Amino acid sequence: MNFELLFRTQSADAAASSAPVQPVRYALTGAKGGFSRTLLAQTRLMPRLAATLLCDLDLGGLRALCLELGFDAQSLVVCADAAAVAALPADAIGLIADVALLDPSRYDILVEATGNPSIGYRAARRALNEGRHVAMVSKEVDAVAGISLSQLAARQRVVYTTADGDQPSNLIGWVTWARTLGLDVVAAGKSSEYDLVFDPKTGNVTQLDESFAAPGLASLMQLGDDIPATLAARRAALNGRKTSATADYCEMSVVATNIGFVPDVELLHYPVARTTELADVYAMREDGGVLNTSGVIDVFNMLRLPEEASFAGGVFVVVRTHDAPTWALLQQKGHVVSRNGRYACMYLPYHFMGVETPITLLDAVVHGRPSGAETPTQCTILGGRANVDLPAGTVLKMGGHHHDVTGVQAVLVAGKTAPRDIAPLYLAAHATLARDVKAGDLLTLDDLQGHDPELLAAWRDGYAA
């Protein structure tokens, strides 16, 4: 995203007219969630942006949140039906519990953040059909229906986009930036949600608010000559702790379809690595790294010492270096270049959630631009493999912080190798198994019953394209 160009253009737009600049109006679903709080808080600082409809099942909690953030109590109006929404004063903020009450006349862009595949899909589809832009925060929706929604947006001549501040949009934009510069991107990815912070004094690792013993890491803080062996030893030193997350797979599927990348392996490599090592780790195997092919998507677990800066859930690309003196100079300035000089890692150590999302909302509405410049294709699919035997009749419930699906391991499958009847993971969410599925089997469409037929139609549209 060219922030300086966006600012200059908006300033010129304002200067060219004597009339006051109208704010960009947005509707927000899942409005009481963590992401939504960050966006609403940022909105309070931006006269060019206005929240006009906020949708959440917990209206009491939503109102309390808005008051805590400093919104005027008189402007917050709970609306129980369409007539109440239609009667809202122009400067009011409608609080609604049903996405069916999202009146398109009251917003320019919908920020979809429910995390619910079916509800989010319907809200986004309606907005696009009504000629409104959509910023998709619900990666669960995008992983099933993103291509179909993108195609619908193109037909309607509006913008369908990921949202800056979240890793998918940040990484899509970062890859687009690298490609614009002519760089050969070997791998693209992000760090996992929480760092592994190793304290050599205690031999303990802290991850968020939890600490556990991992004394074996003390002798493994350097990569050594055999990178795969060191990475395997680090993994073993964690004593079987789970360091992958369904949410990571989902986010990377969104990125992959937007930039044309595929997974190197279904479960991703998930190396336990330090920032300075990424250019060596994400090198081709013949150069000592872990990659079997080029143009792959991945996630790494950030390993650091307590005094070292976090990667902060940021994003990276690993590129092939093209001129040895150029990259030697950059290495002297502290940039991450592999030991053999053939690869470099370029990274953004942040994702600011809703603090940064206004850039997307303004750019989509004012200039008709999505975040990044890529056209999605079904090159990668977020699927699921049963991790236990699942009998017919099992309800595949979706829940938890990472939206895991009952008894199913999220996997990323390259589109060209996927079976034609593969079921996208979040189509399976809340569906019922029509037949027994053995541990290790990939979920297929024929395994499911009771899933959302409209979401299935959207999946098939995107898959066919």
Q: What is the pLDDT of residues 89-108, one digit of tens each?
A: 999 999 999 999 999 999 99
DSSP collapsed to 3 states, 264-311 = CCCCCCCCEECHHHHHHHCCEHHHCCCECCCCEEEEEEEEECCCCCCC
Question: Are 363 and 236 in a shared domain?
Answer: no
The dihedrals phi and psi of 67, each to the nearest 5 degrees, come to -65, -40
Question: Are 244 and 329 in a shared domain?
Answer: yes
Residue 157 is assigned to a structural domain of this protein: yes
Contacts of 341 (CB under 8 A, 6+ apart): 321, 324, 327, 328, 331
Per residue in 417-447, pLDDT (tens digit) is 999 999 999 999 999 999 999 999 999 999 9
The answer to whether residue 9 scores a pLDDT higher than 50 is no
| DSSP at 69 | T
Burial class of 4 by CB neighbour count within 10 A (0 to 12, 13 to 18, 19+): exposed
- Contact by Cβ (8 Å): 358, 46: yes
Report the pLDDT averaged over residues 52-71. 98
Per residue in 308-342, pLDDT (tens digit) is 999 999 999 999 999 999 999 999 999 999 999 99
Percentage, residues of the chain above pLDDT 70? 95
In sequence order, what E strands does 144-240 have?
Answer: 160-162, 184-191, 196-199, 204-207, 210-213
- Average pLDDT of the chain, as a whole number: 94
If you search the block for the tokens 């590129």, which residue do you land on?
A: 319
Per-residue confidence band for 21, with pLDDT thresholds at 50, 70 and 90? confident
Per-residue confidence band for 378, with pLDDT thresholds at 50, 70 and 90? very high
Question: Are 142 and 225 in a shared domain?
Answer: no
What is the number of helices (H) and of strands (E) in the chain? 14, 23
Separation of alpha carbons 242 and 224, rounded Å: 24
CA distances from 280 to 178, 187, 337 (A): 19, 12, 8
Residue 189 is assigned to a structural domain of this protein: yes
Which amino acid, 234?
Answer: R
CA distances from 274 to 175, 220, 461 (A): 21, 11, 41
- Contact by Cβ (8 Å): 396, 428: yes
The dihedrals phi and psi of 70, each to the nearest 5 degrees, come to 100, 10
Q: What CATH number is given to the structural domain containing 61? A: 3.40.50.720
CA 329 to chain centre: 33
Question: Are 238 and 341 in a shared domain?
Answer: yes
Question: Are 315 and 422 in a shared domain?
Answer: no
Residue 15 is assigned to a structural domain of this protein: no
Question: What pLDDT does 82 receive?
Answer: 97
Contacts of 307 (CB under 8 A, 6+ apart): none
Question: Are 159 and 173 in a shared domain?
Answer: no
Among 336, 367, 398, where does a domain finish?
A: 367
The dihedrals phi and psi of 305, each to the nearest 5 degrees, come to -85, 160
Percentage, residues of the chain above pLDDT 90? 91
The answer to whether residue 13 scores a pLDDT higher than 70 is no
Separation of alpha carbons 154 and 160, rounded Å: 8
Contacts of 123 (CB under 8 A, 6+ apart): 29, 99, 102, 110, 112, 114
The answer to whether residue 14 scores a pLDDT higher than 60 is no
- For residue 211, how many other CB atoms are within 10 A of its CB? 13
Separation of alpha carbons 459 and 145, rounded Å: 5
The dihedrals phi and psi of 289, each to the nearest 5 degrees, come to -90, -160
Separation of alpha carbons 123 and 99, rounded Å: 6
Report the pLDDT averaged over residues 211-228. 97
Question: What pLDDT does 92 receive?
Answer: 97
Question: Are 181 and 62 in a shared domain?
Answer: no
The answer to whether residue 344 scores a pLDDT higher than 70 is yes
Question: Are 196 and 241 in a shared domain?
Answer: yes
Separation of alpha carbons 279 and 313, rounded Å: 18
Residue 452 is assigned to a structural domain of this protein: yes
Number of folded domains that form the chain? 3
Residue 3 is assigned to a structural domain of this protein: no
Residue 374 is assigned to a structural domain of this protein: no
Q: Indicate the pTM of the whole model.
A: 0.94
Which one, of 119, 136, 148, 100, lies nearest residue 457 by Cα?
Answer: 148
- Contact by Cβ (8 Å): 354, 41: yes
Question: What pLDDT does 61 receive?
Answer: 98
Question: Are 273 and 159 in a shared domain?
Answer: no
Question: Are 341 and 208 in a shared domain?
Answer: yes
Per-residue confidence band for 10, with pLDDT thresholds at 50, 70 and 90? very low
- Contact by Cβ (8 Å): 169, 371: yes
Per residue in 296-309, pLDDT (tens digit) is 999 999 999 999 99
Residue 154 is assigned to a structural domain of this protein: yes
Per residue in 145-189, pLDDT (tens digit) is 999 999 999 999 999 999 999 999 999 999 999 999 999 999 999
Question: What pLDDT does 12 receive?
Answer: 43
Per the structure, the complete domain to which residue 93 belongs is given by: 22-166+355-367
Among 304, 335, 367, where does a domain finish?
A: 367
Separation of alpha carbons 29 and 57, rounded Å: 10
Residues in the chain: 465
Per residue in 389-404, pLDDT (tens digit) is 999 999 999 998 889 9
Q: What CATH number is given to the structural domain containing 431? A: 3.90.1210.10
The answer to whether residue 16 scores a pLDDT higher than 60 is no
Residue 5 is assigned to a structural domain of this protein: no
Among 339, 367, 395, where does a domain finish?
A: 367
Which one, of 180, 41, 134, 22, lies nearest residue 364 by Cα?
Answer: 134
Question: What pLDDT does 465 receive?
Answer: 77
Per-residue confidence band for 371, with pLDDT thresholds at 50, 70 and 90? confident
Question: What pLDDT does 112 receive?
Answer: 98
Separation of alpha carbons 424 and 460, rounded Å: 10
Question: Are 158 and 194 in a shared domain?
Answer: no
Question: Are 177 and 162 in a shared domain?
Answer: no
Question: What pLDDT does 139 receive?
Answer: 97
Sheet holding 76-78, edge to edge: 76-78, 93-96, 49-55, 24-29, 109-112, 133-136, 160-162
Question: What pLDDT does 374 receive?
Answer: 66
Per residue in 229-287, pLDDT (tens digit) is 999 999 999 998 988 999 999 999 999 999 999 999 999 999 999 999 999 999 999 99
